[in-house]
Structure 1
Amino acid sequence: MNTSIVPATADTATLVLVALLAGASAASLAVLLARSLIALPAEDRTWLDRPPRFMHALWWPTRWIAQAVDPLLSARGREHLMTRLRLAGLDFAVSPAQLLAHRIAVGGLGALFAALVANAWQLPILACALTGALGGSLLAWSWFNDRTRARRRLLLKQLPFVLDLITLCVEAGLNLNGALQQAVAKGPAGPLRDELQRVLRDVRAGQSRAEALRRFAARIDEPAIASLVSAIIQAENMGMSLGPVLRAQGEQRRSERFSRAEKAAMEAPVKMLLPLIAFIFPCTFLVLGFPIAMKFLAMGL
């Protein structure tokens, strides 16, 4: 009797010790996590823009992860991310480390959700968690790329109208700064108006107008904007009237917008081919073939 009770008692003591050690480790990890969250410095966003909604929902874990990621970023990687932030119009809202940290935070949320689903459905938890993390990271970058492309499309769409407005103001007797101010005040809301406002802000800060326009072209990184800035600077250096130059630029930008619309219309049938083959054709064949199959089954074939 004694020999059978002793091993059982030893096993129980071992399990209790393991449970205590696991609980102590979890408690220590929780304490360290809480201290790191408490030690997170307050963020001064007085001169910064509000983060977009998709990022603001996870802003607290994003800031916490960014604090650890920031020292690991190289100068080249930081510059690359900052260039992408400028193209998305987020360089005054998000830092490069926060952009990378947001991708990690969304990946972690995707891993947690996938692990919970896998546990409920009795699936491999590790594989599902890795898949969820990858899916979350891809979702974050897909959102960022979609925002950049949408901003570029809207900017090019508004450019001819804003150029016509600036041309009208210049031909009415205003100088270029006054015309830009009128375009900002009366133009449609969007990325182009925000960028022109930054140009005026740079000029008021003491930069020359040519340098402010060059920075504008560098931020957008679009051939149409680069051509417009180059034409304006060249016309000012040569003492030419800006009215005809701006009018010609507006007509050219309008022609380019029409060409882009034609190209998108011609690409639409090709883009519809895959959904048509993958989804619409099988459903059509199923609807047409089901009555025929039922008749064959009724005939005993």
Structure 2
Amino acid sequence: MSALQQLPAGSWILAAVGVANFLAVLAVLRALAPSDPMAARVRAHGQRRAELRAALLKPRSTVRRQPIGLARRMVEQLKLHRGEDARTAAGLLAQAGWRSADATSVFLAIRVAGPLLLALIAYAAAPLLRPDAGNFARLTIAGLGAVAGVYLPMILLKNAIKRRQIKLLKGLPDVLDLFVICAEAGLSLDAAVGRVGREIGASAPDLADELGLTAVELGFLSDRREALTNLARRTGMPQVRGLVNTLVQTEKYGTPLAQSLRVLAAEFRDTRMMTAEEKAARLPATLTVPMILFVLPPLFIILIGPAIIQVLATSFS
């Protein structure tokens, strides 16, 4: 019998408790450690810079698509990456913050295999929902699962886009003010975009990421208008599109950048105030139904309840 087998059971329990405590302390320390969102943005910008450098150094015809994973192989075998749906999906994924080619392949593969997988899962889970379900009921549930698999990926993607656009919209007025300051200080467009992206990294990381990528593209792409247009395409917001149009017109016609941005910032600030006033005006109509359901019944009970109790006590006495 070895020495390990001769140890008592209490020693094994103490050792297990010690290892569990050590892992718990590590988990707590990792949770309390400060995160560095700047590192992820630096890696993303470096990757985009490498892609642009490779695209400029290599001819477009020699760039090969190497399949990565099952999803990419499925998409390439079905030739889904060559159609209009692939370009539309890539644009929507970029608006949601997923800009890699692998994200497009995974999304297209989910759209293809999702209905089949959800149909099989629904068909297998039908007896759990209805133990007496026949074949027709199970096929009906499977059909509903297939329909959900068709629409669910796009619904989730649009919700992710909407949440990201709300985050971008919150930091846009500050970005315009910083652009005005940089333009009045004499910075060029490239320097202003890079400086504003660095300054708003803590308050608006998503918008800082987009501006950082735009600064990288401004330095590598031959057409500066394409770099600015890519910013509007990646966000899909009319406010950012207005900013891009102002920057493009400034580059084309040589109009003063600070004056144009100051006018645009005032318009955005007025639009933001009008949106807040609109929400405040809708508030009374929105609170009508909750007040009728949750405020008036307790109020009537408090006001009329004692009188009813007194009347009932007098009648029964």
Band of TM-score, shorter chain:
0.5 to 0.7
Distance in 2 (CA, whole Å) between partners of 1:91 and 1:270 is 41
Distance in 1 (CA, whole Å) between partners of 2:146 and 2:198 is 44
Within the candidate set 107, 111, 120, 2:119 is matched to 111
Q: Which has the larger displacement, 72-81 or 120-129?
A: 72-81
Distance in 1 (CA, whole Å) between partners of 2:218 and 2:141 is 53
In the TM superposition, 1:53-68 aligns within 5 A as: 62-63=71-72, 65-68=74-77
State the secondary structure of the residue aligned to 1:90: coil
Within the candidate set 218, 230, 250, 1:235 is matched to 250
Distance in 1 (CA, whole Å) between partners of 2:195 and 2:251 is 20
Distance in 2 (CA, whole Å) between partners of 1:130 and 1:263 is 42
The structure whose RCO (Cα within 8 Å, separation 6+) is larger is 2
* Deviation of 1:143 (Å): 0.9
* Deviation of 1:255 (Å): 1.7
1:76 aligned partner, one-letter code: E
Q: Deviations over 1:232-256 (max 9, x none)?
A: 2323444343222222211211222
Classify 1:107/1:260 alpha carbon distance in 2 versus 1 (closer, same or farther; 3 Å). Answer: farther
Classify 1:206/1:100 alpha carbon distance in 2 versus 1 (closer, same or farther; 3 Å). Answer: closer
Q: Which has the larger displacement, 260-269 or 148-157?
A: 260-269
Decide whether the 8 Å contact of 2:217 with 2:227 is kept in 1.
yes
* Deviation of 1:146 (Å): 0.3
Distance in 1 (CA, whole Å) between partners of 2:111 and 2:287 is 31
Classify 1:133/1:190 alpha carbon distance in 2 versus 1 (closer, same or farther; 3 Å). Answer: farther
State the secondary structure of the residue aligned to 1:89: coil
The aligned counterpart of 1:127 is 140
Classify 1:239/1:140 alpha carbon distance in 2 versus 1 (closer, same or farther; 3 Å). Answer: closer
Gaps of 5+ in 2: 1-43, 49-67, 302-317
Distance in 1 (CA, whole Å) between partners of 2:230 and 2:90 is 14
Decide whether the 8 Å contact of 1:156 with 1:257 is kept in 2.
no
Distance in 2 (CA, whole Å) between partners of 1:104 and 1:80 is 15
Q: Percent same amino acid among aligned pairs?
A: 29
Classify 1:141/1:76 alpha carbon distance in 2 versus 1 (closer, same or farther; 3 Å). Answer: closer
The aligned counterpart of 1:152 is 165
Q: Deviations over 1:5-38 (max 9, x none)?
A: xxxxxxxxxxxxxxxxxxxxxxxxxxxxxxxxxx
The aligned counterpart of 2:210 is 195
1:253 aligns with 2:262: no
* Deviation of 1:270 (Å): 6.5
Gaps of 5+ in 1: 1-44, 49-58, 289-301
TM-score in terms of structure 2 length: 0.59
Within the candidate set 98, 103, 109, 1:101 is matched to 109
Within the candidate set 156, 165, 170, 1:143 is matched to 156
Report how many residues are paired: 230
TM-score in terms of structure 1 length: 0.62
The aligned counterpart of 2:20 is none
Distance in 1 (CA, whole Å) between partners of 2:153 and 2:220 is 35
Decide whether the 8 Å contact of 1:115 with 1:126 is kept in 2.
yes
The aligned counterpart of 1:172 is 185
Classify 1:61/1:269 alpha carbon distance in 2 versus 1 (closer, same or farther; 3 Å). Answer: farther
Q: Deviations over 1:100-125 (max 9, x none)?
A: 32134443443343233312332232
Classify 1:64/1:215 alpha carbon distance in 2 versus 1 (closer, same or farther; 3 Å). Answer: closer
1:217 aligns with 2:232: yes
1:132 aligned partner, one-letter code: G
